[in-house]
């Protein structure tokens, strides 16, 4: 054996024929003080961990942590989606419907822990993939992967001495003891991550994936049959249509169409009945009067003036209405005033489209307040 090979020694290996033999051998190896050694078996042998004094695997902690991570992320994400970003009322349920979140959260938890723990184990614990290990392709490994059991004591163990280890294995009953060497060619292969061929492969995959995605989403989806629902014979808003004589797709409502919530005014053209039958449903509370005041100032004051005297700034430019504080108007029932606002009178147009029905009644209450102010009683000042 020449010096170059001696420096290239990885380990001395010994094969055993039965699980009992290798278990005993492992115990003795550990007792002898070797630390950099490993046992190889075609299947897990019970009790080997204890024989090698291996600590219990901590992979369970990884699994727990990943599972917790998955659970928390899933719940937070679903909550954010259903409460903040895209809240929809589904089946009358509240946005925070935790019973409905459970199935997806559970699945994501299991997915996260299974995939991530396995990856962590393979990459971090095993440091796989690694097909360049010195034990690969040796007769030792070929025996192990079939039906033999073995121990390998590494050359870089502090207590390593080739003759000693060989003798030690012989004393334990091993019949096949062989050295294993590093293969120089394999050693040059690290680190594989920055190998130009590998990077080239990544680049090719990236380009192919991008091209495929681009073509699929921007070109192929516009080809038949995938585009069949993009062009539909139904009429969309603002589209022309040859079906109608004027070529316009959008049609006005048919004669007699009634708006939703529309209720006809029963006293159209009948001021006396309006005065007789309409009753103000609102009471002169502070809210009503405030509202009446606000609406009066908005809609009525341009012509009638701020206090109903008919002295608005339109004086001269536009015929002024008579004062609302006259005895005549004071004697009018509320319904008559309502009728005037609804239908208009003389130069005054109908305000029905600007002032809602309730607001009209509020305005009337306010007018009554203005009238009362003009003809106040002694008792009003108390």
Partner 1 sequence: MTTIDYTQEPAITIGVVTSAEIDAAISAPLDRFPSRRWWIAFGIALMILSMGLASVTAILFKGLGLMGFNQPVAWAFDITNFVFWVGIGHAGTLISAILFLMRQRWRNAIARFAEAMTIFAVICAGMFVSVAHLGRVWLAGYLLPYPNQHGLWINFISPLVWDVFAVSTYFTVSLVFWYLGLVPDFATLRDRTRNKHKKLAYSILSLGWRFSNRHWSHYERMYLILAGFATPLVLSVHTIVSFDFAVSVLPGWHSTIFPPYFVAGAVFSGFAMVQNVLIGMRKFFKLEKIITLKHLENMNKVMLATGMMVGYAYAVEFFMAWYSGSQFERFVFLNRALGPYAWAYWIMVSCNVLFVQLFWFKKIRTSIPAMFAIGVLVNVGMWFERYVIIVTSLSRDFLPSSWGHFSPTIFDFGVLALGFGLFFTLVLLFVRFLPSVAIAELKGVMENAQPHYHE
Partner 2 sequence: MEHIERTQIKVSPKNRLIGWGLVWLGVALCSLGYIVDAREAAFNNVLNFLFLAGIGIGALFFLALEYVTGAVWSVPIRRVNEFLAWLVPFAALLAIPILFNLDTVFAWAQKNIAASDALLRMKEPYLNRSFFILRFFGIFIVWIMFIRLLTRNSMRQDATGDQRLTKINTILSAIFMPVFALTLTIFAVDWGMSLDPHWYSTIYGIYFFSGTATASLAALTLVTAVLYERGFFPKLRRDHFYNLGALLFTFVNFWAYIAFSQFMLVWYANLPEETSWFIARWHGGWEYISIVLILVQFAVPYFVLLPQEAKMNIRTLRRMAVWLLFAHALDLYWLIMPAFSATPPLGWMEISFPILIAGVVLIVLGWQVQNLSLVPVGDPKLKRGLEFRL
Residue with tokens 């979140």, as numbered in its chain: 101
Q: Which of 54, 81, 83, 102 binds partner 2 (CB under 8 A)?
A: 102
CB 1 within 8 A of CB 181: no
Map residue 367 onto helix, strand or coil.
helix
CB 52 within 8 A of CB 30: yes
Return d(Cα 256, Cα 371) in angstroms, integer: 42
Check residue 23 for interaction with partner 1 (CB under 8 A): yes
Check residue 115 for interaction with partner 1 (CB under 8 A): yes
Nearer of residues 102 and 373 to partner 2, judged by Cβ: 102
Check residue 52 for interaction with partner 1 (CB under 8 A): yes
Check residue 99 for interaction with partner 2 (CB under 8 A): yes
Token pair in block for residue 278 = 């309409």
**Per CB under 8 A, which region of 124-132, 183-191, 330-338, 366-374 contacts partner 1?**
124-132
The mark string for 261-300 relative to partner 2 (x by CB under 8 A, - otherwise) is ----------------------------------------
- For 94-153, give the DSSP string: -S--HHHHHHHHHHHHHHHHHHHHHHHIIIIIS-------TTTTSHHHHHHTTT-EEEEE
Token pair in block for residue 258 = 């009634």
Q: Which of 1, 4, 129, 156 binds partner 1 (CB under 8 A)?
A: 129
In the chain, the N- to C-terminal Cα span, in Å, equals 126
Q: Which of 33, 44, 92, 247 binds partner 2 (CB under 8 A)?
A: 92
Q: Which of 7, 31, 53, 81 binds partner 1 (CB under 8 A)?
A: 81
Check residue 178 for interaction with partner 1 (CB under 8 A): no
Nearer of residues 109 and 280 to partner 2, judged by Cβ: 109
Tell the smallest beta-carbon distance from residue 99 to partner 2 (Å).
Answer: 4
Q: Which of 2, 3, 86, 237 binds partner 1 (CB under 8 A)?
A: 86
Q: Which of 43, 46, 230, 245 binds partner 2 (CB under 8 A)?
A: 46
Return d(Cα 342, Cα 45) in angstroms, integer: 97
CB 304 within 8 A of CB 315: no
Check residue 184 for interaction with partner 2 (CB under 8 A): no
Q: Which of 81, 83, 100, 199 binds partner 2 (CB under 8 A)?
A: 100
Distance of CA 123 to the CA centre of its chain: 30
The mark string for 53-72 relative to partner 2 (x by CB under 8 A, - otherwise) is -------x---x--------
Map residue 353 onto helix, strand or coil.
coil
Q: Which of 33, 91, 233, 316 binds partner 2 (CB under 8 A)?
A: 91
Nearer of residues 121 and 369 to partner 1, judged by Cβ: 121
**Per CB under 8 A, which region of 7-15, 89-97, 158-166, 253-261 contacts partner 1?**
89-97
CB 105 within 8 A of CB 69: no
Instruction: State the binding partner of 92 from partner 1, partner 2, none, CB within 5 to 8 A by kind.
Output: partner 2
Map residue 176 onto helix, strand or coil.
strand
- For 323-342, give the DSSP string: PTTSHHHHHS-HHHHHHHHH
Q: Which helix (H) or strand (E) holds 190?
A: none
């Amino acid at each position: 054996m020449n010096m170059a090979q001696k420096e290239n020694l990885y380990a001395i290996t010994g094969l055993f024929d039965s699980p009992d033999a290798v278990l005993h051998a492992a115990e003795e190896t550990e007792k002898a003080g070797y630390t950099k050694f490993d046992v190889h078996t075609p299947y897990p042998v019970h009790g080997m961990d204890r024989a090698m004094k291996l600590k219990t695997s901590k992979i369970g902690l990884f699994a727990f942590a990943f599972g917790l991570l998955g659970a928390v992320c899933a719940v937070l994400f679903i909550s954010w989606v259903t409460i903040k970003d895209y809240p929809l009322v589904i089946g009358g349920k509240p946005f925070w419907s935790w019973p409905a979140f459970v199935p997806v959260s559970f699945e994501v938890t299991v997915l996260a822990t299974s995939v991530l723990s396995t990856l962590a184990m393979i990459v971090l614990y095993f440091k796989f993939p690694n097909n360049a290990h010195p034990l690969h392709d040796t007769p030792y490994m070929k025996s192990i992967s079939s039906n033999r059991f073995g121990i390998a004591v590494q050359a870089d163990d502090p207590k390593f001495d080739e003759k000693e280890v060989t003798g030690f294995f012989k004393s334990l009953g091993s019949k096949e003891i062989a050295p294993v060497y590093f293969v120089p060619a394999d050693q040059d292969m690290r680190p594989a991550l920055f190998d130009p061929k590998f990077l080239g492969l990544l680049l090719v995959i990236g380009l192919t994936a991008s091209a495929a995605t681009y073509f699929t989403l921007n070109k192929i989806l516009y080809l038949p049959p995938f585009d069949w629902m993009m062009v539909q014979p139904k009429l969309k808003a603002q589209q022309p249509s040859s079906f109608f004589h004027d070529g316009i797709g959008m049609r006005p409502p048919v004669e007699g169409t009634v708006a939703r919530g529309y209720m006809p005014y029963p006293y159209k053209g009948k001021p006396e009945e309006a005065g007789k039958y309409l009753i103000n449903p609102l009471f002169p509370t502070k809210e009503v009067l405030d509202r009446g005041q606000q609406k009066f100032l908005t809609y009525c004051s341009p012509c009638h003036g701020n206090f109903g005297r008919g002295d608005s700034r339109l004086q001269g430019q536009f015929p002024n209405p008579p004062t609302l504080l006259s005895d005549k108007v004071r004697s009018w029932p509320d319904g008559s005033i309502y009728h005037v606002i609804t239908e208009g009178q003389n130069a005054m147009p109908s305000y029905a489209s600007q002032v809602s029905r309730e607001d009209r009644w509020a305005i009337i209450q306010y007018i009554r307040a203005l009238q009362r102010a003009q003809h106040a009683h002694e008792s009003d000042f108390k």
